Amino acid sequence: MNRMKNKVVIVTGGAQGIGATYARALAAEGADVAIADVLDGSAVAAEIEAGGQRALYIKTDVTDQDQARAMAENVQERFGRIDVLVNNAAIYASLQMRPFDQIDLDEWDKVMAVNVRGPFVCARAVAPMMKARNYGRIINISSGTPFKGTPGLLHYVTSKGAILTLTRGLARELGEFGIAVNTLAPGLVLSEGVIANEAMRDTLTAPVLASRALKRDQMPDDLIGPLLFLASDDSAFMTGETVVVDGGSVMH
């Protein structure tokens, strides 16, 4: 219950879905949690505080450099430190699957802005605070799709492939400051958003299940253990790596 005791964690996109699962799990292990999201995360923050941990919701557009910097400064001022950044905010479940030549360019740009620019901007915002203490954990959330080339979602697949290389580059640049950077890559998770997107769920569920060594649906709670491993000192000498959690659909 104390793997994250006295740690301060920022979870982007933590107002709902898998991000909220991350926030609750980190708090349950003793972390104080800041939720950075364009959606209202005050209910999740209140829930965490009711459980005995400090929490803070900061409305943040992760693509906006000024908002990200203000968010990091707010967390630093409130909690006195930033130990972990979970770059979870992303566009996925709201997307409609379609051939690549039918993807609207504005939608492509929006996916790239949130899914790639967002983690870059947020990592840059927290880096000075982490460098000052010679300690930090940055966890970038990718996906199993870059390993498969999942059709019908080229913008999403491309963006999550970029996260793999973003992680490696950041790990090289930040290692000398005691900051570890790793990627968590979930498979198809039955999150709130996926359940609501019936077309996506119906298209992907059967082939994904067939490809898995462990023949069951993946739930948000399946990601808690791997996330805590990467966020805690259990992974202290690990950086630049990608941990795929998908029931054995992808093995690399």
Active site residues: 156
CA distance 163 to 156: 11
Spatial distance between the Cα atoms of 121 and 106, rounded to a whole number of angstroms:
20
HEC-encoded secondary structure of the chain? CCCCCCCEEEEECCCCHHHHHHHHHHHHCCCEEEEEECCCCHHHHHHHHHCCCCEEEEECCCCCHHHHHHHHHHHHHHHCCCCEEEECCCCCCCCCCCCHHHCCHHHHHHHHHHHHHHHHHHHHHHHHHHHHHCCEEEEEECCCHHHHCCCCCHHHHHHHHHHHHHHHHHHHHHHHHCEEEEEEEECCECCHHHHHCHHHHHHHHHHHHHHCCCCCCECHHHHHHHHHHHHCHHHCCCCCCEEEECCCCCCC
- Whether 84 and 68 have beta carbons less than 8 Å apart is answered as no
> CA-to-CA distance for 29 and 26, rounded, in angstroms?
5
